[in-house]
Chains A and B, each alone.
Chain A
Amino acid sequence: MSSLAVRKAAPAAGTARGTVPGPAPRRRTALVPTLALLIGAAYCLLPVAWVVIAATKSGSELFSTFTFLPGTGLTENLKDLHAYRDGVYWKWMGNSALYAGLGALLSAAVSAISGYALAIYRFRGRETVFNILMAGVLMPPVILAVPQYLLMAEADLTDSYVSVLLPLVLSPYGVYLARIYAAAAVPSDVVEAGRMDGASELRIFTRIALPMMVPGLVTVFLFQFVAVWNNFLLPYIMLSDDEKFPITLGLFTLLEQGSNTPALYTLVITGALLAVVPLVALFLVIQRFWSLDLLSGAVKS
Chain B
Amino acid sequence: MTSARRRSYGVKGAPYAFLLPAAVLFALFFALPIGYAVWLSLHKVQVKGLGLGAGARSEVWAGLENYADTLSDSELLDGALRVLGYGALVIPVMLGLALVFALMLDTERVRLAPFTRLAIFLPYAVPGVVAAMLWGFLYLPDVSPFHFVLDRLGLPQPDLLDGGPLYIALSNIAVWGGTGFNMIVIYTSLRAIPAEVYEAARLDGATPLQIAVRIKIPMVAPSLVLTFFFSIIATLQVFSEPTTLKPLTNSVSTTWSPLMKVYQDAFGKGDIHSAAATAVVIAFVTLLLSFGFLRAANSRNKQEAAR
**CB closest chain-B residue, reference A113:** B18
Contacting pair B108 A183 (CB below 8 A): no
State A54–B142 Cα separation when bound (angstroms).
Answer: 13
- Bound form: Cα–Cα A50–B122 in Å: 15
For residues 253 through 307 of chain B, which have their beta carbon under 8 Å from a beta carbon of chain A?
259, 262-263, 266-267, 272, 275-276, 279-280, 282-283, 286-287, 290
Chain A residues in 8 Å Cβ range of B138: 46-47, 50, 67
A140-153 near B? 1/0 per residue, CB < 8 Å? 11111011111100
Interface string of A2-45 (1 = CB under 8 A from B): 01000101111101100100100011011011101110110111
Main secondary structure of the interface of B (DSSP, over half): helix
- Known A150-B272, A151-B33; judge A279-B189 contact (CB<8 A): no
A144 & B29 in contact (Cβ 8 Å cutoff): yes
The answer to whether B105 touches A272 (Cβ under 8 A) is no
Contact B148 A66 (CB under 8 A): yes
**Contacts of A104-142 to chain B: CB distance below 8 A:** 110, 113-114, 116-123, 126, 129, 132-133, 136, 138-142
Distance A74 CA – B120 CA, assembled complex (angstroms): 27
Does the CB pair A45–B129 fall under 8 Å? no
B270 to A: closest C-beta gap in Å: 11
- Residues of chain B from 37 to 88 with CB closer than 8 A to chain A in the complex: 37, 40
Q: Verify if A94 is at the interface (C-beta below 8 Å from B).
A: no
A292 touches B282 (CB 8 A): no
Known contacts A143-B37, A184-B3, A295-B185: does B9 contact A122 (CB below 8 Å)?
yes
- Judging by beta carbons under 8 Å apart, are B34 and A147 in contact? yes
In the complex with contacts A37-B116, A296-B192, A63-B143 CB distance below 8 A: yes
Query: A253 — nearest CB in chain B belongs to which residue?
Result: B247
Name the A residues within 8 Å of B263 (CB-CB): 146, 236-237
- The verdict on A110 contacting B133 (CB below 8 Å), with A147-B40, A287-B118 known, is no
Interface of A (DSSP majority class): helix
Cβ contact within 8 Å between A146 and B266? yes
Query: Cα distance A229–B131 when bound, in Å?
Result: 13
Pair A147/B33 contact, Cβ less than 8 Å: yes
Q: Does A196 contact B (CB under 8 A)?
A: no
B137 touching A269, Cβ below 8 Å: yes
The answer to the question of A256 belonging to the interface, with a C-beta cut-off of 8 Å to chain B, is yes
Once A67-B145, A110-B22 are accepted as A-B contacts, the answer to whether A296 and B233 lie under 8 Å apart by CB is no
B168 contacts chain A at the CB level, 8 A cutoff: no
In the bound assembly, the distance between CA atoms of A45 and B138 in angstroms comes to 13
Chain B residues whose C-beta falls within 8 Å of the C-beta of A183 in the assembled complex:
2-3
A interface, how many residues as a size bin? 35 or more
Q: Which residues of B contact A126 (CB under 8 A)?
A: 15
B275 nearest in chain A by CB position: A146
State A215–B89 Cα separation when bound (angstroms): 37
- Residue B119 at the chain A interface, CB threshold 8 Å: yes
Q: Which residues of A contact B279 (CB under 8 A)?
A: 142-143, 146
Once bound together, how far apart are the Cα atoms of A22 and B22, in whole Å? 55
Q: Which residues of B contact A142 (CB under 8 A)?
A: 237, 239, 259, 262, 279, 282-283
User: Within 8 Å CB of A27, what residues of B?
Assistant: 109
Whether a CB of chain B sits under 8 angstroms from the CB of A84 is no
Q: Known contacts A7-B191, A41-B116, A151-B33; can you find 10 more A-B pairs with CB under 8 A?
A: A33-B105, A40-B120, A118-B2, A140-B236, A149-B266, A166-B29, A170-B22, A201-B18, A226-B125, A249-B129
Which residues of A does B touch, CB under 8 Å? 1, 3, 7, 9-13, 15-16, 19, 22, 26-27, 29-30, 32-34, 36-38, 40-41, 43-48, 50-51, 54, 62-63, 66-68, 110, 113-114, 116-123, 126, 129, 132-133, 136, 138-144, 146-151, 166-167, 169-170, 175, 179-180, 183-184, 188, 195, 201-202, 205, 226, 229-230, 232-233, 236-237, 247-249, 251-252, 255-256, 258-259, 265, 268-269, 272, 275-276, 279-280, 282-284, 287, 292-293, 295-296, 299-301
The 10 A-B pairs at the shortest CB distance, nearest first, are namely A33-B104, A296-B188, A41-B119, A30-B109, A117-B18, A12-B113, A67-B145, A147-B33, A170-B25, A201-B14
What are 7 residue pairs bridging A and B, where the CB atoms are less than 8 Å apart in the complex? A9-B191, A13-B114, A38-B112, A45-B119, A67-B144, A139-B34, A251-B133
